[in-house]
C-alpha cells in the first residue's frame, strides 16, 4: 500500500547584488523621470536549478491610463534589457501629471516556449516547445499599475514566478541501491493534468486553455541533489507550468524509462497541491514497490506551508488518546474541526494538523509538557481567552500554522517557563491581526527562533514582558508589520536577519536596552517607505547593517525618531544617534 506524505515548505530566495542600467533614452519627452530597479526575489536558491540566473532578458511594457501600449518607449524586442546578477535598472521620461502602468517580464533569452504579447500584457506558453529536466523555462513577472507622475520617482520592483515548479526526487540510498541492483534507468517523462497556457501580467491572473500536458522524455541526471528539510534526494525530474486560478490540485504521472526508451515504472499521484510561485516536490523511495511519498510545496514568506501527513487518524477520541503517549507522532485527518485539550499532551509529542482547525478554549490551550511540536493547523482562538496557546513546558515548536485572531485574546503564543532554558521554534507562522494583539510573547529562558513568518499586529508582532536574563531571540525571513517592541530583562541578544518591517497603524521598532546590556542586530533588512522610525529605549544599542528602505533607498539618520529614542544606533558601523550626546 502506498503511503503519501504531503509537506508544504515556503521557497527561500537569494537577493542579487549586481546591477546594470539601460542606457537607451526613451523617446517620449517629459518632466517626470521614473527609475525602476528590477530584482528577482530575495533569497533565491543558489543551486544550479532555479537559481534565477538564466532569466536575463527583461522586457518592460508601458501603458497609458486607458491601457494603450506606448510602443516607442517600452523596452521590447531589440530594446530589451539584459539583467545581471538578478538585477537591472531602467529609466523612463514620462509626462508629469499623467498615470502609467507597467508590465515586467524576465525570461531566458533562448527560451522559445513563451510569447509575451505586450499589447495585452499576456504571456502564452507553448508546452510543445517546453523542455523538462532543465532550467530553461524559469521566468519572472510583476506589474506597476496607475503610477501617477508627480516628479522624479524611484521604485524597486521585485519579480516572482507566475509558474508552479514540479520536482520528483528519490531517496539517495534508494537510488544508489537501484543502480547497484542493475536497474537500467535513463530518462523520465512527466504528465500534469489540467494546466493553463496563458498568464495575464497586468491582472495577475491565469487565463487561456486548460489541458493535460506531457513533457517529452528527457535525461534525468541533474548536477545537484534536491535537499528538502535537511534530507537529500536524487533529482529525477523538473518542469514549470501555469496553474488554473493560481492554485489547484492536480494529478501527476512520472514515467521512468530505460536506455532503450521503454517505460519500466510509472508513478501516479492524485490531489497534488500546486500554486503559482510555489515549488512542489514529490519525494520518496521511487524505485521500490512500497513507495513513501513526501509531497512538498516549497515557498517561503507568503503563507503557511501545506503539510499533509499520511496515514492519519479520523476519530477525535483516538487523537485525544494518541497524544498522551510520550514521543508519539499523531497525524490528524484533513478538514477536521478538532477540539483538543493540550494539557494532556505528553512530552516530545508531535501533532501534524494537515490543515485542520485546532479549536481551543481558555482551559484547554495550555501546553505543560516539554518539547511539544504542533504543525499545520489553523488555530481557532475565539474562545481561548488571554492567549491562543500558553506554553509552560520547556521547549516548544510550531510550524506552518495560521492563527485566526479574535477579540477574545491578547496573545497568540505565550511562553512562560522561566525556570529552565529551552528552545522555542516558530516557522511558517501567519498571524494577521488588525487590532492590538501580540503573536509571540517570550517570557522564558533559552532561545526563541522565528523564521519565514508573517506577523502583523497594531502592537505588537513580537513582544517580551518581564523576560529573564540571558535570552536569545533570532528572527529571520519574517515580515514584522506594526509596532515591534520588546522589553524587560538584560543580557539578551536579538538578531533580525532578512526581515521586512512594515507599518500598520504604527511603524516603529522599539527595543529596550536592559540598561545597556542588550545587543540588537538588524542585518539585511528592509523598512517600508512609510516606516516611522527606530526608537531604542533604556539605553539600548542597535546595530544596523546592509539594510534599506522598500524603494531601494539607503537608510539615513532619519530612520531614528530622536524625540522618543534613548540609546545608540549604529548604521553600517557608523554611530548615527546617541541620546547621551
**Contacts for 176 with CB less than 8 Å, ≥ 6 apart:** none
Q: In the chain, which stretches have pLDDT less than 50?
A: 1-30, 43-48, 296-308, 310
Contact 573, 550 (CB under 8 A): no
Cα(236)–Cα(185) distance, rounded to whole angstroms? 11
Cα(198)–Cα(92) distance, rounded to whole angstroms? 28
Say whether 275 sits in a helix, a strand or coil.
strand
Q: Strand pairing partners for 280?
A: 166, 297
Q: What is the pLDDT of residue 362?
A: 80
Q: How far from 329 is each of 227, 348, 457, 481, CA to CA, in Å?
A: 23, 9, 32, 34
Contact 475, 450 (CB under 8 A): yes
Q: What is the pLDDT of residue 323?
A: 95
In terms of C-beta density within 10 A (0-12 exposed, 13-18 middle, 19 or more buried), how is residue 328 classed?
A: middle
Cα(40)–Cα(15) distance, rounded to whole angstroms? 7
Q: What is the pLDDT of residue 14?
A: 24
Burial 175-196 (b: 16+ CB within 10 A, else e): beebeeeeeebbbbbbbbbebb
Q: What is the pLDDT of residue 523?
A: 94
Contact 360, 386 (CB under 8 A): no
Phi, psi of 559 (to 5 degrees): -70, -20
Q: Strand pairing partners for 196?
A: 210, 242
Phi, psi of 329 (to 5 degrees): -110, 115
Q: What is the pLDDT of residue 282?
A: 80
Cell of 407: 477579540
Say whether 78 sits in a helix, a strand or coil.
helix
Cα(3)–Cα(294) distance, rounded to whole angstroms? 9
Contact 530, 501 (CB under 8 A): no
**Contacts for 363 with CB less than 8 Å, ≥ 6 apart:** 343
* Residue with the three cell numbers 507562522: 429
Q: How far from 294 is each of 7, 49, 85, 280, 476, CA to CA, in Å?
A: 6, 20, 33, 10, 25
Other CB atoms within a 10 A radius of the CB of residue 370 amount to 18
Cα(409)–Cα(371) distance, rounded to whole angstroms? 24
Rounded (5°) CA angle 218-224-227: 115
Contact 328, 305 (CB under 8 A): no
Say whether 304 sits in a helix, a strand or coil.
coil
Cell of 204: 495577475
* Residue with the three cell numbers 521620461: 93
**Contacts for 274 with CB less than 8 Å, ≥ 6 apart:** 164, 166, 241, 243, 247, 248, 249, 250, 280, 297
Cα(359)–Cα(320) distance, rounded to whole angstroms? 13
Cα(125)–Cα(242) distance, rounded to whole angstroms? 8
Greatest Cα pair distance, the chain, in angstroms, is 79
Cα(552)–Cα(97) distance, rounded to whole angstroms? 24
Other CB atoms within a 10 A radius of the CB of residue 11 amount to 22
Cell of 536: 531604542
Other CB atoms within a 10 A radius of the CB of residue 563 amount to 7
Closest Cα to residue 307, out of 292, 294, 316, 323? 294
Cα(498)–Cα(459) distance, rounded to whole angstroms? 21
Closest Cα to residue 406, out of 425, 386, 381? 381
pTM of the predicted protein model = 0.56
Say whether 79 sits in a helix, a strand or coil.
helix
* Beta strands, E only, 319-427: 329-331, 337-339, 350-361, 366-367, 372-383, 387-391, 396-399, 402-404, 411-415, 421-427
DSSP state of 333: P
Closest Cα to residue 315, out of 330, 333, 303? 333
* Residue with the three cell numbers 543502480: 179
Contact 399, 427 (CB under 8 A): yes
Burial 60-74 (b: 16+ CB within 10 A, else e): bbbbeeeeebbeebb
Amino acid at each position: 500500500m502506498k503511503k503519501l506524505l504531503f509537506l508544504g515548505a515556503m521557497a527561500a530566495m537569494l537577493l542579487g547584488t549586481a546591477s546594470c542600467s539601460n542606457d537607451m533614452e526613451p523617446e517620449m519627452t517629459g518632466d517626470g523621470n521614473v527609475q525602476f530597479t528590477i530584482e528577482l526575489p530575495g533569497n533565491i536558491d543558489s543551486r544550479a536549478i532555479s537559481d534565477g540566473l538564466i532569466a536575463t532578458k527583461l522586457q518592460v511594457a508601458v501603458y497609458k491610463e486607458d491601457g494603450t501600449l506606448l510602443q516607442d518607449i517600452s523596452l521590447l524586442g531589440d530594446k530589451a534589457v539584459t539583467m545581471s546578477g538578478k538585477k537591472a535598472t531602467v529609466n523612463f521620461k514620462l509626462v508629469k501629471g499623467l498615470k502609467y502602468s507597467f508590465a515586467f517580464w524576465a525570461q531566458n533569452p533562448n527560451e522559445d516556449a513563451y510569447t509575451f504579447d505586450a499589447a495585452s500584457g499576456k504571456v502564452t506558453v507553448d508546452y510543445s516547445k517546453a523542455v523538462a529536466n532543465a532550467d530553461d523555462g524559469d521566468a519572472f513577472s510583476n506589474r506597476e499599475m496607475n503610477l501617477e507622475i508627480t516628479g522624479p520617482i524611484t521604485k524597486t520592483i521585485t519579480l516572482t514566478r507566475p509558474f508552479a515548479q514540479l520536482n520528483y526526487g528519490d531517496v539517495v540510498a534508494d537510488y544508489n541501491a537501484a543502480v547497484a541492483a542493475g536497474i537500467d534507468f535513463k530518462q523520465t517523462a512527466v504528465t500534469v493534468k489540467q494546466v493553463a497556457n496563458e498568464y495575464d501580467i497586468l491582472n495577475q491572473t491565469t487565463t487561456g486553455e486548460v489541458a493535460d500536458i506531457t513533457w517529452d522524455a528527457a535525461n534525468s541526471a541533474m548536477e545537484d541533489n534536491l535537499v528538502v528539510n535537511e534530507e537529500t534526494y536524487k533529482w529525477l525530474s523538473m518542469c514549470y507550468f501555469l496553474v488554473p486560478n493560481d492554485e489547484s490540485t492536480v494529478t501527476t504521472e512520472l514515467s521512468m524509462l530505460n536506455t532503450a526508451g521503454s517505460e519500466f515504472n510509472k508513478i501516479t499521484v492524485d490531489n497534488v497541491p500546486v500554486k503559482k510561485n510555489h515549488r512542489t516536490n514529490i519525494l520518496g523511495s521511487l524505485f521500490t514497490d512500497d513507495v513513501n511519498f513526501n509531497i512538498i510545496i516549497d515557498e517561503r514568506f507568503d503563507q503557511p506551508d501545506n503539510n499533509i501527513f499520511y496515514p492519519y487518524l479520523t476519530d477525535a477520541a483516538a487523537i485525544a488518546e494518541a497524544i498522551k503517549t510520550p514521543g508519539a507522532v499523531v497525524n490528524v485527518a484533513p478538514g477536521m474541526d478538532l477540539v483538543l485539550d493540550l494539557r494532556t499532551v505528553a512530552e516530545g509529542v508531535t501533532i501534524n494538523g494537515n490543515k485542520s482547525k485546532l479549536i481551543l478554549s481558555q482551559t484547554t490551550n495550555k501546553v505543560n509538557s516539554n518539547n511539544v511540536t504542533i504543525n499545520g493547523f489553523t488555530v481557532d482562538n475565539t474562545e481561548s481567552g488571554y492567549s491562543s496557546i500558553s506554553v509552560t513546558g520547556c521547549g516548544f515548536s510550531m510550524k506552518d500554522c495560521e492563527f485566526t485572531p479574535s477579540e477574545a485574546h491578547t496573545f497568540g503564543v505565550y511562553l512562560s517557563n522561566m525556570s529552565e532554558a529551552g528552545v522555542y521554534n516558530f516557522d511558517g507562522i501567519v498571524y494577521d491581526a488588525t487590532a492590538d494583539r501580540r503573536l509571540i510573547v517570550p517570557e522564558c529562558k533559552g532561545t526563541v527562533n522565528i523564521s519565514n513568518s508573517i506577523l502583523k499586529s497594531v502592537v505588537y508582532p513580537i513582544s517580551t514582558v518581564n523576560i529573564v536574563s540571558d535570552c536569545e531571540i533570532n528572527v529571520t525571513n519574517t515580515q514584522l508589520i506594526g509596532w515591534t517592541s520588546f522589553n524587560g530583562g538584560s543580557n539578551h541578544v536579538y538578531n533580525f536577519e532578512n526581515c521586512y518591517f512594515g507599518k500598520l497603524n504604527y511603524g516603529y521598532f522599539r527595543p529596550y536596552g536592559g540598561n545597556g546590556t542588550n545587543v540588537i542586530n538588524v542585518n539585511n533588512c528592509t523598512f517600508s517607505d512609510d516606516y516611522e522610525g527606530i526608537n531604542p529605549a533604556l539605553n539600548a544599542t542597535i546595530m544596523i547593517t546592509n539594510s534599506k528602505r522598500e524603494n531601494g533607498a539607503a537608510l539615513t539618520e532619519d530612520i531614528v525618531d530622536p524625540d522618543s529614542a534613548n540609546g545608540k544606533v549604529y548604521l553600517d558601523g557608523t554611530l548615527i544617534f546617541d541620546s547621551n550626546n
